[in-house]
A and B are shown apart, each in its own frame.
Chain A
Amino acid sequence: MAPGDRRGATFASEFRMPSLGADMQAGTVVNWLVKPGDHVTHGDVVAEVETEKGVFEVEISSDGVVDELAVGKGAKVPVGTVLARLRRDGVTTPPATGGAGTIETPVAAPTAAPPAPPAAPAAPAAPAAPAGAAPAHIVRASPLARKIAEAKGVDLANVTGTGPGGAITKADVERASSAPSAQRVETTAAPPVAPPVAPPIAAPTSEPMLAMRHAVAAAVSRSKREIPHYYLGTDISLGAAMGWLAAQNQARAIADRILPAALLLKSVALALRKYPALNGFWTDDAHHPAEAIHVGVAISLRAGGLIAPAIHDADQLSLGDLMRALSDLVRRTRAGGLRSSEMTDATITVSNLGDEGAASVFGVIYPPQLALVGFGKINERPWAEGGMLGVRPVVTATLAADHRATDGHYGSRFLAEIDRLLQTPESL
């Protein structure tokens, strides 16, 4: 048996130009962040690619060793072009003490004086934070465990390791594969850790902005052409929500204060759990609801243009985390440091016009998504409640949805759920 005969973790020998948006045709590699000989693990940012929409950090989805870079800096190539080739090099596990990004073979095993015993499996230890503070996306698992995990479709990120140094063993994988619900519990206890962020890149110049306009034009044209939209709207009182938010924010530092936008986004995400038919895609003439809820946030760019990167697993983030993710997303969007997965993973989009917006927005669905939720400006309006007249902060929530996947009745109930959630902000 030669090395490489058996497959370890995810491996693909070709890394191709990804599609970073509905209408991306081609991209230009403006910077390579790896060179031949470098080890990569799925999730590593390996290149910066420029499209009409700006410059994105592109992540690789395979483990391996970079064999050759097939496309040089400055070359514009169509989506799908092979950008780099990888070779297998087994999977190396991180050192017991290592900074982010160092990949080494494990420290030598015990001699007459053995090391400390492995971590006890009593509490579900977050696999993203092993004893040695290794980078979150490198999972310590034995080669055998990886092999079995792959065969059984077990995600190692959800497995607790009981082997030497907390590594995942065959037994751990087998235990995990026979107790799927346990995995979800562990996952909620371990919030995902963001991959390293590249330094910000200068905002696009006018020529790319023209290209962006074209891209937007193409996208919305296609959307209107192909997707039979239906529209619904409802007014939602945010009295309780704003009051609760004010109290929350009093206890927080200014930098940590939560904006209403976070409440709105969270309510959409949670509502989708009850109404999953609106979360996902219509492709190949069929409805493909998505398992995870990645909320795309429509963000306007200062120089003009619109982009809608995703906040992953928005339903699982705490409000604080969601707020941080939102701020971070906005900052990076405007600075140009978005990642390809953020561009491609949104399962629904929310367009929040915010303070300067109109009262309501009836948006255009971002193909191939199934819906777009809009929030207008929150303003004070007269509000009747329990027979009494008062003034409340009110927002108009709208839904534009693909009639092929859902109908108005379903959409209404979805909006009603958002309303209900916003009335009980402590549940968000």
Chain B
Amino acid sequence: MTTTTATTENATDTAEQPSEARAAGGDHQLHLLREMLRVRRFEERCGELYKEEKIRGFLHLYIGEEAVATGVLQALGPEDAVVATYREHGHALVRGVSARAIMAEMYGKQEGCSGGRGGSMHLFDAATRFYGGNAIVAGGLPLAIGVALADKLQHRARVTACFFGDGAVAEGEFHETLNLAALWQLPVLFCCENNLYAMGTAIERAQSETHVALKAAAYRIPSWDVDGMDVEAVESAAHRAAAAVRAGEGPHFLELRTYRFRAHSLFDPELYREKEEVERWKQRDPIATYTATLRQRGVLDDAQLAAMEDEVLREVDDAVAFAEAGAWEPVETLTRYVYSEPKTDPGAAP
């Protein structure tokens, strides 16, 4: 299998669609925009809250990369699984973890999706099969193939989407995992979010071969390069790849070219890249460009956009209010969740 570059050529060409399909497509397109906007506004608010010391520790914002999570997760169903990194707030939101639960987790409150125990880097949600949230670069890859292995052994046609960055490519676990996934033909959709920097190290300084998809191809995994700033391109590629995985064709790999507009984390003074480069990429802001595209298609007008922004803002405000009102777990229960607790209700799901 060779690499191919996915562009919008395979996406629905709206200019040639019949109007009903366009309307249906229009709803979906608005949905895509709304999802990206939810992530954007949520992340912006997190940045502000961090500066107000409501959120502590490390905070890694997804601003600029929204198209990736939004696009890929359209290709997954509720029975599929998601494994992500410490820059996973957007993935969790799009996956269906409530903004309230995520924000409460950021605050460290009991009502958080991880009970306040995980924080920004360890969002988990069993209901949406969201397996974290991992602070070890490449640490989630072996976990992902394990989840996939279990599905395969139990003959379930499911996909495990595994997100990681270009930094993970340097870790041994990346290579071990891809090799094993291909060897055992495990149903994993590997999504490398290549934002060109591993914290402060540009990919040219870390990789002898910077074309990540080529590396995956070397493990005999079908791999695509994808324009990660184009949500429809991402979605289209993800649908194709996920369908193949689900059909039992083994692991597939997407290298999603994207860029983060903010620093690695809130602690980062960004000494390693030029402002000019950031500005250049901002011209390709996935939300700005998609908004323009939708306007151009006649799918979106000012009123709709305003309403959407309003709705998103309310959701974020509501989440913050929820988190503010949340409770701190009592210190007395500090040593819970080290080992499993006996189930008090035998009928409860394990």
Asked whether the complex places CB atoms of A and B closer than 8 A, the reply is no
User: Interface of B with A (CB < 8 Å)?
Assistant: none
